[in-house]
Amino acid sequence: MLGQLLLGITGAIFFGLGVVSVYNPEIPAQWSGLFIASQDAYAEIAAMYGGLQIAIGSILIASALIKEYLKAGLWLLFVIISYIAAARAITVFRELDSKVEVAGSQVGIEMTSSFTSYTWSVLSFEVAVSLLALIALLNRPR
């Protein structure tokens, strides 16, 4: 049940975001702070943010609805979202400014980031979906 629900919801999110991206590539570009500098870039955003997400969303929805595809769909979801999350996390944590200060007997740790709530919320979503997909895979009846 968890697996089907996770695939269905995540598939609908991918599908919906893909449709929005094909309809108006400026919308996802604005969300993530991208500047579309040419007509080629419009086509690229529409294809990669739109077409690819519609395709992935369709596969995930089909996997939620067709029992024989459930396990493969969960693996696909786990692999795709985990690698996206890993790439985003590597970038975020590589760019995270941190310093440790020792003053007297107190240790202070300060971490600053120029990433917006967009990046942190998407990363949180990706980590949560990855973990839920793994849990659904491990808890599937044999």
d(CA 122, CA 62): 24
Task: Write out the residue range of the structural domain in which residue 99 sits.
Answer: 2-138
54 — pLDDT class (breaks 50, 70, 90):
very high
Query: For the whole model, what pTM was predicted?
Result: 0.81
Q: How many structural domains compose the chain?
A: 1
Amino acid letter for position 37:
A
Q: Does position 79 have pLDDT exceeding 50, yes or no?
A: yes
pLDDT tens by residue, 94-126: 777 654 455 555 555 555 567 788 888 999 999
pLDDT tens by residue, 12-42: 999 999 999 999 999 988 888 888 999 999 9
d(CA 83, CA 56): 14
Q: What are phi and psi of 101, to 5 degrees?
A: -120, 135
CA 42 → CA 22, 25, 34, 109, 119, distances in Å?
Answer: 9, 6, 11, 42, 22
User: So what's the pLDDT on residue 141?
Assistant: 73
d(CA 32, CA 70): 31
User: So what's the pLDDT on residue 106?
Assistant: 58
Highest mean pLDDT among 32-41, 76-85, 132-141: 76-85
